[in-house]
Structure 1
Amino acid sequence: MTRDSMPQVDPITVSVIEGALANIATEMGHKLIRMAYSSIIRESEDFGAALVDASGQQLCEAKQSTPLASGPLPGCVAGIMDQLARRGEVIEPGDIIVHNDPYAGASHLPDVGFYVPVFVGDELVGFSCAMSHHVDIGSYKPGSGGQVNASDAYAEGLQLKALKVYARGQRNDQLWHLIRDNVRMADVVIGDMEAEIAAVQIGARRFAELIESYGLDVFRAACTVSLDNAERKMRAAIRAVPDGDYTGVVHIDGFLDHPDPAYSDLPLSVTLKVRGDEIVADLAGTAPQLPDKPINIPFRGSVDCAILVAIKSVLLDSAVHGEIPQNSGLVRPITITAPVGCLANPVFPAPTMCRYAGGIALSDATMKALAQVVPDKVSAGVGNGGGIVFGGDSGSEAMWLHVELFEGSYGGRPQRDGMDAVDCLFANTRNNPIEDVESHNPLRIERYELREDVAAPGMQRGGLGTIKEFRMLADGSVAAESDGHKHRPWGLLGGEDGSTRATVLERADGSCVELPSKFDFLEYRLKAGDRIRAFGPGGGGYGPPNQRNPEAVRDDVLDGLISRENAERDYKVAFTADGEIDHAATENLRRGN
């Protein structure tokens, strides 16, 4: 059916169908959360769920989704169709497809997706999709994070490239045996996969019922209008930005202890070329790929998500524009390019397992570029996140693994301080409750609080990181992939730079060692009683510190977030002996007297 032959659909019908699609995706998310075995899905909600039409356009996504898991789904559908076509295979009713190829739309191997094709009669009309992070994918070391020495994609685990776990409704037992036999903690991994399948099956059923309610022609016409409306909103937002080229460059640590300088202090560059109602994001100037270290970032599945989420969140802030359907219309006016062979467009089989920190930095660089032209709509630099994996009893039936996602923090904003202790930008996962961690793992969290006296000074201060302290209750090991141990989040418009991240190992005998940002499982073997102390980063400050409201400074002092000495030094706010603001002394300090 062409656009000209589509029936006319009134705005109310379009809105009702948009709402119905969003509700279907949200139901998929709830089902997945309720049925998942692992805490990274059940509590951290590191997953995405969406409905995609037959041409690969996303129609909606679950509100619980993290952008890093929902954003790749349209690209995965395109990758699946391409791979099946190359093999001469076709999609049929009753098929369920598993896919995790980072070079065909997926984000990295642990993010395994399941896809159910939806048919009306004999016609393929779309896909019900879900992607989740799994605790193990059969890589060379336990866990699905901290595989920082993977030499190539083959060392990172099972590559599941557009394979049918169900074909015409029949379970492919041989494929399931292969997966079970090649992952650690197989009951948990398979249980999470079956939860995903249940979610996409209910999504496919609801999708088909919705189409049946309105008829395929009306449904398609409504989706076309919805996609076009989203595109118009994005184009209007881009037109409000003056034409020009705006470049943001940030650096990630990479591997600071590597003898080759090409492995550390790596630049990621984003130039936004605004022309009329379109943007080209050009990543020229980004560091070359690392052929044997897994911090390369898949171009389709991670890089696109990082760039797009930053542009969408700044130019179409929901606080200003209200709820906007999250569909592919929003990305039509935006093109992304990156030199082949750079860190943001690697060539297979370059490993990609630990692409997370680089992806956050790309979002941050995009924000930094936008800060040049719309500084009233962005935050200062964000504190990068990352993750740490605890585990023990490797290879035994009693083996355990826990994936702990580190919080980051946002920089100060035009009217508000930066957000404290949150995952940021394209990650946006949830905090893992202490009770859940301790009830499923031999770990005790003995300290979890905001860091004090590290908030970046600014008219609006940077957000605060956390201190989280884990005590091992059994022997085991730990692995980590994070960043920001050297490079501080950038300040904006006179705000100061933020604070770095740090991870410390304290042995039971009291000896301490500061750990690098990235290290493999079994590099540091832990004994019961050893502790890991994780210090989260602080976001950058926004605006000159001496323009901060003295009452806000006083509140931070009373809350223990900054000291009186730092208030006077950084913000030029003086206090009387009883803790009240000394307005005369403050005025003198701010005048430079």
Structure 2
Amino acid sequence: MNWEIIGKATQFIAEEMGVSLKRSALSPNIRERMDHSCAVLDKNGRIVAQAEHIPVHLGSFKVGAKNIIDYMNQNGIILGENEMLVTNDPYISGTHLNDVTFIAPVYYRNELFCYVINKAHNVDVGGPVFGSLNPEAINLYQEGTIIPPVKASSDVIKFILSNFKDPDTAAGDLNAQMAANRMGIKRIKELLDRYSGDDINASWNTLIDHSRELSLHAMAEWPQGTYESEDFLEKNDGLIKLKLKLSVTKNGIIADFSGTDNQINYPLNAVLGVTFSSASFSIRSAINQDIPTNDGFYSIIDLKVPEKSLLNPEKPHPVSGGNVETTQRVADTVLLALSKFLKEIPAASSGTMMNIMLGGENNGKYWSYYETIGGGNGGRYNSNGESGVHSNMTNTLNTPIEIAEKEYPMFFTAYKLRRGSGGNGLHKGGEGIIRSFYVTNQTYMSVIADRFMVKPWGIHGGSPGKTGSLYIISSGRKKRMPAKFSSKLNKNDEVIIETPGGGGYGKI
């Protein structure tokens, strides 16, 4: 059928955009770790196709793309042929300041036909700490440069780069993002040369309707009802509660986060785009069918989040950690609710991206390094959890040690599984990771992590996984650090990172 052919072709366009971005980028974070995402939107901003990149990015397009298009309409911004818009405002684009978004129109016969969009994590976007993810931020302005939705002219790009600490690397990444959109535009126009615009639009509408119908059909097997769960995030001086009532209805899922703690002056608030991403990812993961993930699937999820809460904060509350840590806990909370009626839901994963930011001056230039470190997946109903992997809202690779040592003043001393960190059970939780290094120059380090106090939960009688930890060895003294901190490292100081294991599944 033509609509299936056109749908697959559109999917491949999004995938090719991602390949272009990866191959053109300069930073290891994008080039090696693939911390980027791409999608194709119809002219109304609905997601038609997305590449299977970073979950927290992809779901945010549902919220962020509409916000951007609404912003353009409200402010009289008209993008012409060969023009793009750039923004990183999390309260519009839907994640955090490090994620710079480019959106570009595709014109057909002098009329707007659709959009292509991509988002990539730029390692440093300004602000007081290297890597910009500031564990001590009390407002958004302490997390980096805010780029409102604006046309990406050469002067605008120059202004943006003048506020980033490593402008040369950032220029390569921003140019790669713009090139990826140009690739998408080219491929959409080639599709328009083969099929009429009317046929493509009709096919996209059918594809979206098909996805919705398949999703509702799959969930018709789930028992209708309301299922409750709660989980916790960690401040260094206490816990933050997430509470969920998840209702399964004949028309889809209602995820009600009433009862979640209020917004805080701390970088763990999550904008609505992040909350939606996490909830939709968890629900999509529970559907064991080949369903296109587009606006049709997203339309079955009704998110209810109180304003001025942790998961729907008011600007300018800080949100950098919300995109990388709170997003993991939202996923855990939704998965825990789903486990009340789906045996296939695994125990909790490591539950943290273990964000490590390093930077300083080397050979007269500033440098910034960003890494997230995997852990253990939860035990599953039919097998042990996987060890040493990124899970849930992150889908990145690690930076190869050889690349990190070549690019930055650091030397690795260990990279191995953390034996015994997975929870016991009929099916054991996966093992976490031990990754350690020392720095060869004075370096500034910031960390935003979690699951240092609250263990990843086991399920159906399984034991929880071990919590994470981080140590700094300086002048022969070993000091245990909290989950969120900034610190100066002296030359030859060593950092030892131990990520959590996954929870166990079932009684032994």
Q: TM-score range by the shorter chain?
A: over 0.9
Q: What letter matches 1:134 in structure 2? A: N
Residue pairs, 1:567-586, within 5 angstroms: none
Which stretch shifts more, 458-467 or 419-428? 419-428
Deviations 1:358-414 (A, max 9, x none): 11000000000001011x2201111122211111218x8422211011213211010
Q: What letter matches 1:512 in structure 2? A: K
Aligned match of 2:482: 516
Aligned match of 1:349: 316
Aligned match of 1:550: none
Aligned match of 1:505: 472
Aligned partner of 1:486 among 433, 450, 453: 453
TM-score by length of 1: 0.83
SS at the partner of 1:193?
A: helix
Find out whether 1:365 has 2:333 as its counterpart. Answer: yes
Measured in 2, the distance between the counterparts of 1:90 and 1:525 equals 46
Deviations 1:331-378 (A, max 9, x none): 11110011111100101111111111111000000000001011x220
Residue pairs, 1:378-527, within 5 angstroms: 378-384=345-351, 385-393=353-361, 397-507=364-474, 509-520=475-486, 524-527=487-490
Measured in 2, the distance between the counterparts of 1:408 and 1:342 equals 29
Find out whether 1:531 has 2:499 as its counterpart. Answer: no
Q: What letter matches 1:540 in structure 2? A: G
Deviation at residue 211 of structure 1 after TM alignment: 2.3
Conservation of the 8 A alpha-carbon contact between 2:224 and 2:250: yes
Conservation of the 8 A alpha-carbon contact between 1:269 and 1:362: no
Q: What letter matches 1:66 in structure 2? A: I
Aligned match of 1:79: 67
Find out whether 1:281 has 2:255 as its counterpart. Answer: yes
Aligned partner of 2:158 among 177, 192, 210: 177
Aligned partner of 1:340 among 307, 310, 316: 307
Aligned match of 1:133: 121
Deviation at residue 460 of structure 1 after TM alignment: 0.5
Measured in 2, the distance between the counterparts of 1:393 and 1:17 equals 50
Residue pairs, 1:209-248, within 5 angstroms: 209-248=190-229
Measured in 2, the distance between the counterparts of 1:388 and 1:71 equals 24
Measured in 1, the distance between the counterparts of 2:175 and 2:77 equals 24
SS at the partner of 1:127?
A: strand
Find out whether 1:307 has 2:270 as its counterpart. Answer: no
Deviation at residue 114 of structure 1 after TM alignment: 0.7
Aligned match of 2:270: 297
Measured in 1, the distance between the counterparts of 2:364 and 2:187 equals 39
Conservation of the 8 A alpha-carbon contact between 1:98 and 1:160: yes
SS at the partner of 1:377?
A: coil
Q: What letter matches 1:127 in structure 2? A: Y
Aligned match of 1:582: none
Deviations 1:443-501 (A, max 9, x none): 11110110112221010000110000111112212110011100001111110111101
Conservation of the 8 A alpha-carbon contact between 1:47 and 1:70: no
Deviation at residue 72 of structure 1 after TM alignment: 1.8
SS at the partner of 1:350?
A: coil
Deviation at residue 44 of structure 1 after TM alignment: 1.1
Aligned match of 1:62: 51
Measured in 2, the distance between the counterparts of 1:277 and 1:110 equals 36
SS at the partner of 1:71?
A: helix
Deviation at residue 174 of structure 1 after TM alignment: 2.5
Aligned match of 1:161: 148
Measured in 2, the distance between the counterparts of 1:174 and 1:140 equals 24
Measured in 2, the distance between the counterparts of 1:313 and 1:227 equals 18
SS at the partner of 1:33?
A: helix
Root mean square deviation of aligned Cα: 1.4
Measured in 2, the distance between the counterparts of 1:82 and 1:19 equals 28
What are the ranges of 5 or more consecutive residues in structure 1 without an aligned counterpart?
Answer: 1-11, 166-171, 257-263, 546-593
Deviation at residue 155 of structure 1 after TM alignment: 2.1
SS at the partner of 1:212?
A: helix
Find out whether 1:267 has 2:241 as its counterpart. Answer: yes
Conservation of the 8 A alpha-carbon contact between 1:498 and 1:537: yes
Deviation at residue 222 of structure 1 after TM alignment: 0.9
Measured in 2, the distance between the counterparts of 1:453 and 1:330 equals 39
Measured in 1, the distance between the counterparts of 2:94 and 2:298 equals 18
Deviation at residue 195 of structure 1 after TM alignment: 0.4
Conservation of the 8 A alpha-carbon contact between 2:421 and 2:502: no
Conservation of the 8 A alpha-carbon contact between 1:80 and 1:161: no
Measured in 1, the distance between the counterparts of 2:136 and 2:177 equals 29
Aligned partner of 2:136 among 128, 149, 165: 149
Q: What letter matches 1:483 in structure 2? A: D
Deviations 1:194-221 (A, max 9, x none): 0000011110111122123110111111
Matched residue count: 506
Measured in 2, the distance between the counterparts of 1:517 and 1:286 equals 21
SS at the partner of 1:393?
A: strand
TM-score by length of 2: 0.97
Conservation of the 8 A alpha-carbon contact between 1:76 and 1:99: no
Conservation of the 8 A alpha-carbon contact between 2:62 and 2:298: no
SS at the partner of 1:233?
A: helix
Aligned match of 1:46: 35
Measured in 1, the distance between the counterparts of 2:23 and 2:72 equals 32
Give the direction of change, closer, same or farther, for the CA distance of 1:354–1:144 in structure 2 (3 Å limit). Answer: same
Deviation at residue 94 of structure 1 after TM alignment: 2.1
Measured in 2, the distance between the counterparts of 1:254 and 1:283 equals 20
Measured in 2, the distance between the counterparts of 1:211 and 1:415 equals 46
Q: What letter matches 2:457 in structure 1? A: W
SS at the partner of 1:399?
A: strand
SS at the partner of 1:305?
A: helix
Q: What letter matches 1:307 in structure 2? A: A
Conservation of the 8 A alpha-carbon contact between 1:495 and 1:543: yes
